[in-house]
Amino acid sequence: MRGGTSRGPFFKESDLPVDVAARDRVLLAVMGSPDKRQIDGLGGAHPLTSKVGIVRTARTPGVDLEFLFAQLQPDKDTVDTTPNCGNMLAAVVPFALETGMVKPRGDVSTFRVLTLNTDMQCDISVRTPGGMVDYEGEARIDGVPGTSAPITISFLDTAGSVCSGLLPTGHVRDVIDGIEVTCIDNGMPLVILTARDIGRTGYESVAEMNADAELKARLEKLRVACGHAMGLGDVTDKNYPKMTLVAPPRAGGSITTRSFIPHVCHDAIGVLAAVTVGTACVLDGSVTQGIATMPGGNVKTVSVEHPTGEFSVELELDPANPQSVARAALLRTARLIMRGEVMVPAAVWWPASSSARGKP
């Protein structure tokens, strides 16, 4: 399924091995990792198309579905279930409806979903006229061709999804490794810095960013240092924190971004990264101050510009604490691309030490 600007296979949890090590072996085989082309699997040779969704009916009171996101890498043998993915999240309810895990609830069906990676809940609304998932509509998101039916995601509590809190260092702005940064986690751990502070404009193309070996080495050095400051330990082999360069908007939005995930410049920006950037824009004293163009009012729509367009996030501030975000909502789309069987070698499902055989 495509979820937002990401893509990957979705599975019922019950169809995968219970043992985590065995499950990860199966997922690596499904995707064809490690191999930069993922020629022997379903992966798309890019982190955005090397994602997996695992869904089960909820075991948590008040929740309908539980979602585990897995990030794989084309050229690595890692399966990371620590961070969340707001793009793949958009496909959870359509998947559950398509597979009969839940039933439609009128013309628009809303379900509460718990993301197991970060213990975060959200309400997801999907059009279901006549009891069928509607994928066709007028909603457009940058990074995806054409238009589709809108899927609304309202996050209930995103602060400190992986870190200890919204501002894991205890400060809205720090100087780490000689660079002013805002270390923040409102759904995705990010290190935000101005492009000018690292000698770039922030308007470079994705190709230019990815070809800039000096920049990438500098960002990785800073990322590792910030990981320790954020209480995340050694992040050398982790997919977070993501690195986000910011610059003044130049296409009518609120702020311009170049997001690294974490070593490849993103063609767009992740859902929860956009929420987190937007949150930084409303925090007094963050590195976005003086750069972001922000609307007034208690409910703010932050337009986050990225290499292929923009991503709008609606943030509602807490009236009792203007430095706190009470609600974050956004619009995504999704599409069912195919359904069927993916073949997993028996030696992957059952290692040689096992006597069990016979299942493809």
- Mind spelling out the 3-state secondary structure of 89-142? HCCHHHHHHHCCCCCCCCCEEEEEEEECCCCEEEEEEEECHHHCCCCCCCECCC
Question: Is residue 218 in some structural domain?
Answer: yes
Together in a domain, 45 and 94: yes
Question: Is residue 296 in some structural domain?
Answer: yes
What CA–CA distance (Å, rounded) separates 133 from 304?
A: 29
Domain encompassing residue 220? 174-324
Neighbours of 32 (CB within 10 A): 19
Together in a domain, 197 and 252: yes
Neighbours of 213 (CB within 10 A): 8
Pull the structure tokens for residue 259: 């997001």
Together in a domain, 114 and 71: yes
Together in a domain, 7 and 115: yes
Question: Is residue 161 in some structural domain?
Answer: no
Together in a domain, 266 and 241: yes
What CA–CA distance (Å, rounded) separates 170 from 174?
A: 9
Together in a domain, 194 and 276: yes
Together in a domain, 188 and 271: yes
Q: Is 88 helix (H, G, I), strand (E, B) or coil?
A: helix
Question: Is residue 162 in some structural domain?
Answer: no
Question: Is residue 113 in some structural domain?
Answer: yes
Report the percentage of the chain scoring pLDDT > 70: 97
Together in a domain, 179 and 68: no
Say which CATH number the domain at 191 has.
3.10.310.10
The model's pTM: 0.74
As for how many domains the chain has, the answer is: 2
What CA–CA distance (Å, rounded) separates 69 from 53?
A: 5
Question: Is residue 169 in some structural domain?
Answer: no
φ, ψ at 46 (rounded to 5°) = -155, 145
Together in a domain, 206 and 106: no
Contact assessment for residue 276 and residue 186, using Cβ atoms and an 8 Å cutoff = yes
Beta strands 242-247 and 189-194 are parallel
Report the percentage of the chain scoring pLDDT > 90: 83
Instruction: Please report which helix (H) or strand (E) contains residue 335, including its range.
Output: strand 334-335
What CA–CA distance (Å, rounded) separates 13 from 134?
A: 24
pLDDT tens, N- to C-terminus, the chain (360 residues): 999 999 999 999 999 999 999 999 999 999 999 999 999 999 999 999 999 999 999 999 999 999 999 999 999 999 999 988 989 999 999 999 999 999 999 999 999 999 999 898 999 999 999 999 999 999 988 889 999 999 999 988 788 889 999 999 999 999 999 999 999 999 899 999 999 999 999 999 999 999 999 999 999 999 999 999 999 999 999 999 999 999 999 999 999 999 999 999 999 998 899 999 999 999 999 999 999 999 888 888 899 999 999 988 989 888 887 677 888 888 899 999 999 999 999 999 888 654 444 444
Together in a domain, 129 and 187: no
CA angle, 211 as apex, 44 and 28 as ends, to 5°? 25
Q: What is the pLDDT of residue 324?
A: 77
Question: Is residue 102 in some structural domain?
Answer: yes
Question: Is residue 163 in some structural domain?
Answer: no
Q: How many residues does the chain have?
A: 360
